């Protein structure tokens, strides 16, 4: 095989490999997202974060506007301390509330923001005043059983 | 008589152990010498380019076809299971994660070992059997830097590129079956995939894996060829050993790397 054709094939091979890597990075992976834009940090304290994980999306009206960047346990308030990075393109009023929600029945957990009506906006380092914890299935079932038992107890006493 | 049998068994075990350890020592020394004398494979880059053509470009067809079919099978089987739980929209992340993290690097390395590794072993083994390597030494040409090192670097360069192409075409295969044939929603296929696949955690780790596999497979193939007894039988045994050893080493290394990379964080 001639030098030039050989070089061309090897060049095409290397380019093909690099293109495959770029496709993986931008089409398959998450490099193509909003990651390039600047972010600001906000914090939220939750009684129970359920299965929330670092890098879980932060959504408002279903649109991804940021990601969870750190989760810690605060040993003074005994609550979960969640740090979020929101894109600077999206500003929220100071009395915005944060809730931990689940996408679908078995889907991943994310933080949903509900905008408030304050004139001032959240700034870097601010904290959500209103938060709502994740729903824990065991507690729900426990509550349902408890109220059912209470109902039955009432019925029995009514029959007597 | 039983005494002699026991004695014979013990001595053969001892012989195998001593043999194995000294082969390992020779292999390590060979690997080091290859690394030290690899300057020429970059100074005279056309030597390496020639080898990239034979190891990389010639493996393209098998890598691309296998990747496409693996991705298509993943799409079918994944859909079968996921639709039972009503979460077929997660098909994209299933296909992409399993390809990028595991199947891409590992299967590409196994195919690479049987397609290119065996060829390298046979070539070098025959060069040794026909005394071409000794002839080079006679002409004051170092066979390690002229023959072995360019093949090593060609393998190390080709392997990650092949693995990336395997994963990319596999994802396309999954897309073809999942979205085009079965009719999973295209938007959720890609968006769930992009939400699940992390660049640093998944893609970079997959590339690191394929580089490690490239080093392992090429080094094994070169060593087996160089160490092969200079007979027809010796070369054929060495070629078989290359494929078997590479496959085992790749799978073992994959487990070790996975333990370090993915701890379920």
**Model confidence over B208-257: pLDDT tens digits?**
999 999 999 999 999 999 989 988 899 999 999 999 999 999 999 999 99
Q: How many CA atoms lie within 13 A of B155 on its CB side?
A: 29
Lookup: tokens for B126? 């025959």
Interface membership of B64 toward A (CB under 8 Å): no
Burial of residue A10, with CB atoms counted within 10 A of its CB: 0-12 exposed, 13-18 middle, 19 or more buried = buried
CB contact under 8 A, B197 and A17: no
Mean pLDDT for B110-130 is: 93
**Number of CB atoms found within 10 A of residue A155's CB:** 10
Cα–Cα distance for residue pair B265/B246, rounded to 1 Å: 30
**pLDDT at B1 > cutoff 60:** no
CA distances from B240 to B21, B107, B245, B248 (A): 20, 18, 9, 13
Interface membership of A29 toward B (CB under 8 Å): yes
Residue with tokens 């299971």: B81
**pLDDT at B265 > cutoff 60:** no
Question: In this predicted structure, what is the pLDDT of residue B2?
Answer: 55
CB contact under 8 A, B197 and A29: yes
Interface membership of B179 toward A (CB under 8 Å): no
Contacts with A, B 192-251, CB within 8 Å = 193-195, 197-199, 202-203, 206-207
Q: How confident is the model at residue B105 (pLDDT cuts 50, 70, 90)?
A: very high
**pLDDT at A66 > cutoff 60:** yes
**pLDDT at B10 > cutoff 70:** yes
Cα–Cα distance for residue pair B22/B28, rounded to 1 Å: 10
CB contact under 8 A, A10 and B53: yes
Query: What's the whole-model pTM score?
Result: 0.75
Interface membership of A15 toward B (CB under 8 Å): no
Q: What is the largest CA-CA distance in chain B?
A: 76
CB contact under 8 A, B100 and A24: yes
Q: How far is B182 from chain A (nearest CA, A)?
A: 20
CB contact under 8 A, B194 and A18: no
Interface membership of B260 toward A (CB under 8 Å): no
Q: What is the DSSP letter of A93?
A: B
Question: In this predicted structure, what is the pLDDT of residue B237?
Answer: 93
Asked whether the beta carbons of A84 and A43 are under 8 A apart, the reply is yes
CB contact under 8 A, B56 and A10: yes
Residue with tokens 């490239």: B214
Interface membership of A28 toward B (CB under 8 Å): yes
Compare A31 and B159 and report the one with higher pLDDT: B159
**Which chain A residues have a beta carbon less than 8 Å from that of B165?**
16-17, 20
Q: How confident is the model at residue A158 (pLDDT cuts 50, 70, 90)?
A: low
Instruction: Please state, rounded to an integer, the average pLDDT across all residues of chain B.
Output: 89
CB contact under 8 A, A29 and B199: yes
**Which chain B residues have a beta carbon less than 8 Å from that of A52?**
none
Cα–Cα distance for residue pair B169/B175, rounded to 1 Å: 10
CB contact under 8 A, B193 and A28: yes
Mean pLDDT for A73-79 is: 89
Q: Which residues are A106's β-sheet partners?
A: none
Closest CA to A74 of A34, A116, A45: A45
Q: How confident is the model at residue A137 (pLDDT cuts 50, 70, 90)?
A: confident
Lookup: tokens for B85? 């739980």
Q: Which residues are A44's β-sheet partners?
A: A82
**pLDDT at A89 > cutoff 80:** yes
Nearest Cβ partner of B52 from A13, A18, A27?
Answer: A13
Compare A135 and A115 and report the one with higher pLDDT: A115
Interface membership of A9 toward B (CB under 8 Å): yes
Asked whether the beta carbons of A56 and A5 are under 8 A apart, the reply is no
Question: In this predicted structure, what is the pLDDT of residue A90?
Answer: 86
Q: Write the ipTM.
A: 0.80
Percent above pLDDT 90 for chain B = 58
**pLDDT at A2 > cutoff 80:** no
Nearest Cβ partner of A10 from B49, B160, B206?
Answer: B49
- Report the first-to-last Cα separation within chain A, whole angstroms: 101
Asked whether the beta carbons of A125 and A41 are under 8 A apart, the reply is yes
Compare A68 and A104 and report the one with higher pLDDT: A68
CB contact under 8 A, B167 and A20: yes
Closest CA to A92 of A53, A54, A126: A126
Q: What is the largest CA-CA distance in chain A?
A: 103
Mean pLDDT for B33-59 is: 88
Q: Which residues are A72's β-sheet partners?
A: A81
Interface membership of A51 toward B (CB under 8 Å): no
Lookup: tokens for A154? 């009432």
Which of A53-62, B83-92, B106-115 is most confident?
B106-115
Mean pLDDT for A128-133 is: 85
Mean pLDDT for A111-126 is: 86
**Which chain B residues have a beta carbon less than 8 Å from that of A51?**
none
């Amino acid at each position: 095989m001639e030098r030039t054709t050989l070089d061309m094939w090897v060049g095409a091979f290397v380019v093909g490999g690099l293109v495959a890597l770029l496709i993986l990075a931008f089409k398959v992976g998450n490099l193509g997202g909003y990651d390039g834009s600047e972010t600001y940090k906000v914090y939220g304290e939750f009684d129970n974060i359920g299965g929330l994980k670092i890098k879980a999306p932060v959504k408002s009206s279903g649109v991804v506007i940021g990601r969870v960047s750190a989760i810690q346990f605060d040993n003074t308030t005994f609550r979960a301390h969640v740090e979020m990075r929101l894109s600077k393109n999206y500003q929220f009023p100071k009395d915005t509330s944060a809730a931990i929600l689940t996408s679908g029945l078995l889907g991943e957990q994310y933080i949903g923001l509900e905008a408030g009506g304050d004139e001032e906006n959240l700034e870097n380092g601010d904290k959500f005043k209103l938060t709502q914890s994740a729903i824990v299935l065991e507690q729900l079932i426990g509550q349902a059983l408890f109220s059912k038992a209470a109902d039955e107890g009432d019925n029995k006493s009514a029959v007597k | 008589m039983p005494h002699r049998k026991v004695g014979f068994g013990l001595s053969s075990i001892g012989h195998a152990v001593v043999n194995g350890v000294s082969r390992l020592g020779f292999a390590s020394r060979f690997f080091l010498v290859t690394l030290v004398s690899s300057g020429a494979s970059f100074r005279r880059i056309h030597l390496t380019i020639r080898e990239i053509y034979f190891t990389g470009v010639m493996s393209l067809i098998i890598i691309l076809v296998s990747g496409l079919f693996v991705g298509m099978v993943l799409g079918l089987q994944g859909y079968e299971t996921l639709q039972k739980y009503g979460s077929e929209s997660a098909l994209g992340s299933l296909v992409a994660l399993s390809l990028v993290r595991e199947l891409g690097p590992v299967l590409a390395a196994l195919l690479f070992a049987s397609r290119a590794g065996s060829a390298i072993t046979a070539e070098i083994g025959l060069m040794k059997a026909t005394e071409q390597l000794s002839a080079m030494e006679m002409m004051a040409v170092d066979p390690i830097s002229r023959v072995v090192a360019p093949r090593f670097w060609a393998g190390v360069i080709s392997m990650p590129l092949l693995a990336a192409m395997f994963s990319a075409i596999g994802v396309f295969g999954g897309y073809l079956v999942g979205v085009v044939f079965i009719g999973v929603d295209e938007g959720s296929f890609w968006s769930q995939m992009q939400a699940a696949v992390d660049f640093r955690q998944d893609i970079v780790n997959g590339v690191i894996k394929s580089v490690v596999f490239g080093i392992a497979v090429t080094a094994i193939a070169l060593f087996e060829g160089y160490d092969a007894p200079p007979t027809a039988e010796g070369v054929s045994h060495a070629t078989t050993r290359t494929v078997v050893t590479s496959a085992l080493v790749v799978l073992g290394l994959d487990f070790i790397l996975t333990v370090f990379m993915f701890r379920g964080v």
